[in-house]
Structure 1
Amino acid sequence: MRTEIKYLELKSGFSDNGKAWIGLVSFSKSGKTIYFDGKAFQSLNGMGISGNYFDLESGDEYWISGVKKDMTDRHKFGGGKIFVEKRILSDYLQIVGKSELPKADYELTEVETEKPIERINELENEKAQPTEFDSDLHFKNPNELTNEEVEFVIAELIEDEKNVQFNKARRSYKKKRLELEAELEKRGIKTLGNNV
């Protein structure tokens, strides 16, 4: 896994005064995800408010960039200590050409080195599943859907019927499911719902 020393600053809710670190980040195989301090970040592709990356779990925006040799990583109008990861101190001092950290602006810290790869994969799989079909399928008329889309919505409605707590909602799911099954029957296709 490729690693690099980076400057990271929390932007959400802080303008230019958010918590900031200089630490060793790891990149996923694709290079699209950056891991640091038990978190995973992906690029905002220019769509951020003040950050260029976001935390995949919290949604918070961060500024992540290479470290500057002149130590001007924080915005000129920003403030607050920058935490430097202990394990990379000598490498960082070499980059900036110093023999020790200026105590006023920097502080040594330990960070979580375990990468949340499994947790993030699960999160991304959850997000990816529904996008196979548009979420607005439920709002279209049955005759506007393809056979696969109808079958997908029927399967979702069957799940919803099983899991819903209130009879009124269950009846509404069932009514919608029966409409979709009738549409498939019109098309001459046997449905999942017939065995429910």
Structure 2
Amino acid sequence: MLDASHVIAQQLDAGESLLWSGQPRKGIVFRGPDIFMIPFSLMWGGFAIFFAVSVLFHVRDGGGGPGFVGLLFAIPFALIGLYMMFGRFIVEAIQRDHTCYGVTDHRVIIVTGLVDPQPAPDVALVTALVAALSPRKVKSLDLRTMSDISMTERSGGRGTITFGPQNPYQHFAGTGWPGMGFATPSFDMVEQVKSVYALIRDAQQKRWRQ
């Protein structure tokens, strides 16, 4: 299990002080856009799997050459359908589980793509695959130059802090769909978001006065 404070501490410069560290919410999460995406994924995935099974039975019953060609097309569609229905939730949960956030007296730090040294046996293969597709990245934003910081708070005090103008697809970020990541740097689904937001604003004001 990751220690966010240890991960962020490894990124600190000499004389830099860590004010806060944390991670996004753990586990499977359903977001607002899933109201529309889940029915669509069920229709797409259901059709893709039905098509793949139909072609498979055709080949089994002696369908011949055309049947094998159809199977080559059907398998990728079925895999995409399974990802849309189930896999994207697992991938997105693993990505959140390997993300750490930090606030220092100089900047905001976002570290993604981390891998546990000894992942649990039941998720080791999936974790390794996600890690291979999502290499480790470190992003830092200087408090002195940040001008647009917004906060969205939800029930239970959890929410998201966005650093910069929101892109048009921001509401689809975090849903696990390819190409729909957080283009705008964010602290996604953090606990006590109002307190973290206030801490960032306070650190930013102190940074401006330096």
With normalisation by structure 1, the TM-score equals 0.22
- The structure carrying a bigger helix percent of its residues is 2
With normalisation by structure 2, the TM-score equals 0.21
Larger Rg: 1
Greater RCO, CA 8 A, separation 6+ = 2
